[in-house]
């Protein structure tokens, strides 16, 4: 998407996920604690996907997670 296409929308970034003091938020910390880190290119997308998923469904089941991420 081009930036102009986001006009009027709320945009969240990986930088905006940190705590006010600059420390990692709970999701970022969990990725680090459980060795879920990937390359710097995709890591922010994985964190943002997790933030979005948990915002919509705070307690997803394993079935819901695997259904959403199945490779067809």
pLDDT digits (tens, 9 = 90+) for 6-18: 999 998 999 999 9
* Residue 20: pLDDT band with limits 50, 70, 90: very high
Residue 42 has pLDDT above 60, yes or no: yes
The model carries a pTM of: 0.74
Quote the domain boundaries for residue 45. 3-68
Give me the pLDDT at residue 32, please: 92
| CB 18 within 8 Å of CB 51 | no
How many domains in the chain?
1
Give me the pLDDT at residue 70, please: 53
Contacts of 14 (CB under 8 A, 6+ apart): 43, 44, 47, 48
| CB 18 within 8 Å of CB 25 | yes
């Amino acid at each position: 998407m081009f930036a102009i296409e986001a006009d009027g929308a709320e945009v969240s970034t990986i930088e905006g996920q940190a705590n006010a003091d600059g420390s990692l938020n709970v999701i970022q910390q969990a990725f680090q604690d459980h060795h879920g880190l990937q390359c710097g290119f995709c890591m922010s997308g994985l964190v943002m996907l997790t933030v979005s998923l948990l915002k919509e469904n705070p307690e997803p089941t394993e079935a819901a997670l695997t259904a959403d991420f199945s490779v067809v």
